[in-house]
Amino acid sequence: MTRFCTLSLTLFSLTLLGPLAAAAQWQPLLDAELSQWRTYLGYPNPGTPVANLERSDDGEYLEPVGYDRDDWNIFSVSTESGEPVLRISGEIYGGLFTRKDYGNYRLRMQVKWGEQKWPPREELPLDTGILYHGMGEHGVDYWRAWPRSQEFQIVQQGVEGLTGDWWKIADSQIDIRCVSAGEEQPHTYDPKAPVKTFGGDEGPITCRASHNNEKPTGEWNTLELITFEDKSLHIVNGEVVMALSGSSYPTESGTAPLTQGQVVLQSEAGEVFYRRIEWQPIGDIPEEYHAYFK
């Protein structure tokens, strides 16, 4: 009788935990049809032909391409070794963004650089990024291409920055332990530094990652974003390069939390490839990373 009861309880527990256990598994976000994504493209360069888009007398476009129009294959998927690979050409500033909003999750993917560059970055390092907690309309940032969000920057090795940097998008705000050698010098993440507020109406617009852990151009890099409530971690090839907290944005009555929303993969004047994009819901920052927030 005891063995029967034990077996029954075990089966009952598995029945209850089955859906929860399944939900906690890594879930793919990339397929050949981009079925879990939408697109937004901003103002094209004058050299990119776009039908039915108003221009000024000097050839500048006066309106964005907008949502769900991609006549140029800015975002395309091919199959390599049996798995989907996303190419973002970068020709027009904009983004590929998730149809659903996400909060409290781990997101990981592999990324590598292509070769093509477009105005205005022909002579600059390749640059793109993962935007998270995207909310509201797209096209509200400085480049008129993206929604309010936090940025996990991806930038080719060079003097302009490091993969894992944080950038303000629109009026996003966040707290980071960063240091600077002087008023005109960049801020850099240091887990021992005092907390400083970035973004919003008055704070600095960027903080660099603690160190460069990017692989040579042409190799796949594994990036992971962990975000729970107002906290997040930027991880490059297995190493934490930044911890952030207090994700929010300013309002007339103070600040409001910015803790969930779309994931956006930027199109930013350079060619980049992604594969193995997947996410996993979480109930807390994993224990091995708690020290970053003490």
CATH number at residue 248: 2.60.120.560
| Count of CA atoms in the C-beta half-sphere (13 A) of 43 | 17
Residue 154 falls inside a structural domain? yes
Q: Is residue 12 a part of any domain in this protein?
A: no
Cβ-contact 110, 221 below 8 angstroms = yes
In a domain, 3, yes or no: no
Domain residues for 117?
A: 27-282
- DSSP E strands in 119-269: the ranges are 127-135, 148-155, 166-169, 173-180, 187-189, 195-199, 206-207, 221-228, 231-236, 239-251, 254-257, 262-267
Asked if residue 4 is part of any domain, the answer here is: no
pLDDT at 183: 79
Is 1 a member of any domain?
no
Do 144 and 210 meet the contact criterion of CB atoms below 8 Å apart?
no
Residue 188 lies in a domain: yes
Q: At 163, phi and psi to the nearest 5?
A: -65, 125
Task: Label residues 59-95 b or e (16+ Cβ within 10 Å = b).
Answer: eebeebbeeebbebebbebeeeeeebbbbbbbbbbbb
Q: Which two tokens stand for residue 98?
A: 């998730």
pLDDT at 17: 46
Radius of gyration from C-alpha coordinates of the chain: 21
Q: How far apart are CA 225 and CA 106, in angstroms?
A: 6
Domain count within the chain: 1
pLDDT confidence of residue 23: 55
pLDDT tens, the chain, 294 aa long = 444 444 444 444 444 444 445 457 999 999 999 999 999 999 999 999 999 999 999 999 999 999 999 999 999 999 999 999 999 999 999 999 999 999 999 999 999 999 999 999 999 999 999 999 999 999 999 999 999 999 999 999 766 789 999 999 999 999 999 999 887 889 999 999 999 999 999 999 999 999 999 999 999 999 999 999 999 999 999 999 999 999 999 999 999 999 999 999 999 999 999 999 999 999 999 999 999 999
Is 22 among the domain residues?
Answer: no
Sheet holding 148-155, edge to edge: 66-67, 37-41, 94-98, 262-267, 127-135, 148-155, 166-169, 206-207
pLDDT of residue 181: 84
Q: What is the 3-state secondary structure (H, E, C) of 54-105?
A: CECCCCCECCCCEECCCCCCCEEEEEECCEEEEEECCCCCEEEEECCCECCE
CA 149 – CA 136 distance, rounded (Å) = 9
Contact 153, 131 (CB under 8 A): no
Residue 255 pairs with which residues in a beta bridge? 250
**98 residue type, one letter:** T
